[in-house]
Amino acid sequence: MDSAAGTNEKVGFNSWCPFLISDSIQKLKDFAQKIRKIGKDDPRRVFHSLKVGLALTLVSIFYYVNPLFQGFGTSTMWAVLTVVVVMEYTVGGTLSKGLNRAFATLLAGALGLGAHHLAAVAGDKGEPILLGVFVFMLAAMATFSRFVPEMKARHDYGVTIFILTFSLVAVSSYREEELIKLAYRRLSTVAIGVTTCLCTSMFVFPVWAGEDLHMLVAANLDKLACFLEGMGVQYFGEKMESGSLEGKSFLQSYKTVLNSKATEDSLANFARWEPGHDRFGFRHPWNQYLKIGAVTRHCACSIEALNAYISTLQQSHQTTTDLEFKQMVQAACVEMIKETSKALAELSSSIREMKWSSTVGKHHAMATEAANRVKALVPAENSTLLDVLISATTASLVTEVVRCTNPVIAAVEELSRLVEFKRPEHSRKAGAESPPHVVIVIEK
Amino acid sequence: MDSAAGTNEKVGFNSWCPFLISDSIQKLKDFAQKIRKIGKDDPRRVFHSLKVGLALTLVSIFYYVNPLFQGFGTSTMWAVLTVVVVMEYTVGGTLSKGLNRAFATLLAGALGLGAHHLAAVAGDKGEPILLGVFVFMLAAMATFSRFVPEMKARHDYGVTIFILTFSLVAVSSYREEELIKLAYRRLSTVAIGVTTCLCTSMFVFPVWAGEDLHMLVAANLDKLACFLEGMGVQYFGEKMESGSLEGKSFLQSYKTVLNSKATEDSLANFARWEPGHDRFGFRHPWNQYLKIGAVTRHCACSIEALNAYISTLQQSHQTTTDLEFKQMVQAACVEMIKETSKALAELSSSIREMKWSSTVGKHHAMATEAANRVKALVPAENSTLLDVLISATTASLVTEVVRCTNPVIAAVEELSRLVEFKRPEHSRKAGAESPPHVVIVIEK
Nearest to A419 among B285, B404, B442 (CB): B285
Q: Where are the alpha helices (DSSP H) in A235-358?
A: 249-253, 255-258, 261-271, 286-315, 324-353
Q: Are A359 and B423 in contact (CB under 8 A)?
A: no
- B261 to chain A, any CB pair closer than 8 A? The answer is yes
- B241 to chain A, any CB pair closer than 8 A? The answer is no
Last residue in a domain, options A203, A237, A261:
A203
Nearest to A295 among B378, B392, B411 (CB): B411
| Count of beta carbons in the 10 Å neighbourhood of residue A111 | 17
Enumerate the residues of chain A whose CB falls inside 8 A of the CB of residue B35.
144, 148
Degrees to nearest 5, angle at CA A40 with A39 and A45: 35
Residue B27 belongs to some domain of the structure: no
Nearest CA in chain B to A262: B262
The ipTM, to two decimals, is 0.83
Q: Using CB atoms and an 8 Å cut-off, which of residues 405-434 of chain A contact chain B?
A: 405-409, 411-416, 418-419, 421-424, 426-427, 433
- B85 to chain A, any CB pair closer than 8 A? The answer is yes
DSSP A91-144: HHHHHHHHHHHHHHHHHHHHHHHHHHHHHHTTHHHHHHHHHHHHHHHHHHHHHH
- Per-residue pLDDT tens over the stretch A395-414: 778 888 888 788 888 888 88
Residue closest to A231 by CA, chosen among A257, A253, A261, A256: A253
Q: Does residue B234 share a domain with residue B186?
A: no
Degrees to nearest 5, angle at CA A395 with A318 and B313: 120
Tell me the nearest-neighbour CA distance from B125 into chain A, angstroms.
Answer: 10
- B33 to chain A, any CB pair closer than 8 A? The answer is no
- A295 to chain B, any CB pair closer than 8 A? The answer is yes
- B260 to chain A, any CB pair closer than 8 A? The answer is no
Q: How many structural domains is chain A composed of? A: 2
Residue closest to A409 by CA, chosen among B367, B67, B374: B367
How far CA A372 is from CA of A209, B1, B110, B403, in Å, comes to 42, 48, 73, 12
Rounded to two decimals, what is the model's pTM?
A: 0.84
Tell me the nearest-neighbour CA distance from A20 into chain B, angstroms.
Answer: 24
Q: Does residue A75 share a domain with residue A110?
A: yes
How would you write the pLDDT of chain A (444 residues) with one tens digit per residue?
Answer: 344 444 444 445 566 677 788 889 999 999 899 999 999 999 999 999 999 999 999 998 888 887 777 878 778 888 999 999 999 999 999 999 999 999 999 999 999 989 988 988 888 888 888 989 999 999 999 999 999 988 888 899 999 999 999 998 888 877 777 788 888 888 899 999 999 999 999 999 999 999 999 999 999 999 999 988 888 887 776 554 445 555 566 667 888 898 899 999 999 999 999 998 888 888 889 999 999 999 999 889 888 888 878 877 776 655 556 667 778 888 888 888 899 999 999 999 989 988 888 888 899 889 888 888 877 776 655 666 667 777 777 777 888 888 878 888 888 888 888 887 777 655 444 433 444 433 333 333
Enumerate the residues of chain B whose CB falls inside 8 A of the CB of residue A148.
34-35, 38
- B25 to chain A, any CB pair closer than 8 A? The answer is no
Enumerate the residues of chain B whose CB falls inside 8 A of the CB of residue A288.
411, 414-415, 418
Residue B74 belongs to some domain of the structure: yes
Residue closest to B46 by CA, chosen among B254, B207, B225: B207
Residue B29 belongs to some domain of the structure: no
Question: What is residue A319's predicted lDDT score, i.e. its pLDDT?
Answer: 55
Identify residue B80 by its one-letter amino acid code: V
Enumerate the residues of chain A whose CB falls inside 8 A of the CB of residue B200.
none
Between chain A and chain B, the number of residue pairs with CB atoms below 8 A apart is 514
Q: Does residue B136 share a domain with residue B253?
A: no
Q: Where are the alpha helices (DSSP H) in A121-207?
A: 123-145, 149-172, 179-203
More confident residue, B154 or A319: B154
- Per-residue pLDDT tens over the stretch B2-26: 444 444 444 455 666 777 888 889 9
For chain B, give the longest Cα–Cα distance: 98
Q: CA-to-CA distance for A82 and A97, rounded, in angstroms? A: 10
Last residue in a domain, options B161, B180, B203:
B203
Q: Do B325 and A46 touch (CB under 8 A)?
A: no
Q: Are A87 and A200 in contact (CB under 8 A)?
A: yes
- B267 to chain A, any CB pair closer than 8 A? The answer is no
- Per-residue pLDDT tens over the stretch B63-118: 888 777 787 877 888 899 999 999 999 999 999 999 999 999 999 999 998 998 89
Tell me the nearest-neighbour CA distance from A358 into chain B, angstroms.
Answer: 7
Enumerate the residues of chain B whose CB falls inside 8 A of the CB of residue A374.
395, 399, 442
Q: Does residue B174 share a domain with residue B226?
A: no
Nearest CA in chain A to B339: A402
pLDDT band at B269 (very low <50, low <70, confident <90, very high): very high
Question: How distant is the alpha carbon of residue B272 from its chain centre?
Answer: 17
Question: What is residue B207's predicted lDDT score, i.e. its pLDDT?
Answer: 94
Q: Which residues contact A223 (CB under 8 A, 6 or more apart)?
A: A253, A254, A256, A257
Give the best residue of B260, B307, B398 to mutate against chain A (max A CB count within 10 A).
Answer: B398
Nearest to A52 among B50, B139, B405 (CB): B139
- B121 to chain A, any CB pair closer than 8 A? The answer is no
Last residue in a domain, options B203, B227, B257:
B203
Residue A112 belongs to some domain of the structure: yes
Q: Are B165 and B104 in contact (CB under 8 A)?
A: yes
CATH number for position A324: 1.20.58
Q: CA-to-CA distance for A170 and A117, rounded, in angstroms? A: 9
For chain A, give the longest Cα–Cα distance: 97
Give yes or no for residue B239 having a pLDDT over 60.
Answer: no
Q: Does residue A410 share a domain with residue A275?
A: yes
- B275 to chain A, any CB pair closer than 8 A? The answer is no
Q: Does residue A247 share a domain with residue A199?
A: no
Rg of chain B in Å (alpha carbons): 32
DSSP B98-165: HHHHHHHHHHHHHHHHHHHHHHHTTHHHHHHHHHHHHHHHHHHHHHHHTTSHHHHHHHHHHHHHHHHH
Give the best residue of A59, A130, A148, A302 to mutate against chain B (max B CB count within 10 A).
Answer: A302
Residue A101 belongs to some domain of the structure: yes
Enumerate the residues of chain A whose CB falls inside 8 A of the CB of residue B374.
395, 399, 442
Mean of per-residue pLDDT scores for chain B: 82
- B307 to chain A, any CB pair closer than 8 A? The answer is no
Q: Using CB atoms and an 8 Å cut-off, which of residues 180-219 of chain B contact chain A?
A: none
Q: Do B408 and A361 touch (CB under 8 A)?
A: no
Q: CA-to-CA distance for B247 and B301, rounded, in angstroms? A: 19
pLDDT band at B241 (very low <50, low <70, confident <90, very high): very low
Residue A281 belongs to some domain of the structure: yes
Q: Are A258 and A299 in contact (CB under 8 A)?
A: no
Q: Do B325 and A412 touch (CB under 8 A)?
A: no
Phi, psi of B327 (to 5 degrees): -65, -40
Question: What is residue B320's predicted lDDT score, i.e. its pLDDT?
Answer: 56
- Per-residue pLDDT tens over the stretch A118-147: 988 888 888 888 989 999 999 999 999 999
Q: Using CB atoms and an 8 Å cut-off, which of residues 312-331 of chain B contact chain A?
A: 313, 319-321, 323, 325-326, 329-330
Tell me the nearest-neighbour CA distance from B7 into chain A, angstroms.
Answer: 37
- Per-residue pLDDT tens over the stretch B301-349: 888 888 878 877 776 655 556 667 778 888 888 888 899 999 999 999 9
Q: Does residue B265 share a domain with residue B132?
A: no
Q: Are B311 and B246 in contact (CB under 8 A)?
A: yes
Phi, psi of B318 (to 5 degrees): -90, 145
Nearest to A302 among B144, B172, B404 (CB): B404
Q: Which residues contact B385 (CB under 8 A, 6 or more apart)?
A: B378
Q: CA-to-CA distance for A258 and B298, rounded, in angstroms? A: 10
Out of A337-346, B133-142, B237-246, B290-299, least confident range? B237-246
Tell me the nearest-neighbour CA distance from A22 into chain B, angstroms.
Answer: 24
- Dihedral of alpha carbons B103, B191, A144, A159, sign: negative
Residue B38 belongs to some domain of the structure: no
Tell me the nearest-neighbour CA distance from B18 into chain A, angstroms.
Answer: 29
Residue A4 belongs to some domain of the structure: no
- A345 to chain B, any CB pair closer than 8 A? The answer is no
Fill in the DSSP letter of residue B75: G
Q: Where are the alpha helices (DSSP H) in A9-122?
A: 13-41, 44-64, 66-72, 76-86, 91-120
Cα dihedral angle (A375, A376, A381, A386), rounded to 10 degrees? -30
Residue closest to B364 by CA, chosen among A433, A417, A436: A436
- B343 to chain A, any CB pair closer than 8 A? The answer is yes
What would the mean pLDDT of B282-292 be, rounded to a whole number?
Answer: 90
Fill in the DSSP letter of residue A65: S
Q: Do B364 and A435 touch (CB under 8 A)?
A: yes
Enumerate the residues of chain B whose CB falls inside 8 A of the CB of residue A325.
387-388, 391
Q: Does residue A141 share a domain with residue A58?
A: yes
Tell me the nearest-neighbour CA distance from A113 into chain B, angstroms.
Answer: 16
As a whole-number percent, the residues of chain B with pLDDT over 70 amount to 84
Its domain, for residue A365, covers: 209-429
Q: Does residue B337 share a domain with residue B230?
A: yes
What would the mean pLDDT of B256-264 be, rounded to a whole number?
Answer: 91
Question: What is residue B231's predicted lDDT score, i.e. its pLDDT?
Answer: 83
Q: CA-to-CA distance for B149 and B159, rounded, in angstroms? A: 13
Q: Does residue B334 share a domain with residue B349?
A: yes
Question: What is residue A14's predicted lDDT score, i.e. its pLDDT?
Answer: 61
- B360 to chain A, any CB pair closer than 8 A? The answer is yes
Phi, psi of B356 (to 5 degrees): -70, 130
Nearest to A409 among B77, B140, B343 (CB): B343
Q: Does residue A136 share a domain with residue A230?
A: no
Q: Are B196 and B96 in contact (CB under 8 A)?
A: no
- Dihedral of alpha carbons B331, B337, B341, B342, sign: positive
Q: Are A411 and B339 in contact (CB under 8 A)?
A: no
Q: Does residue A100 share a domain with residue A159?
A: yes
Q: CA-to-CA distance for A49 and B146, rounded, in angstroms? A: 9
Tell me the nearest-neighbour CA distance from B13 into chain A, angstroms.
Answer: 31
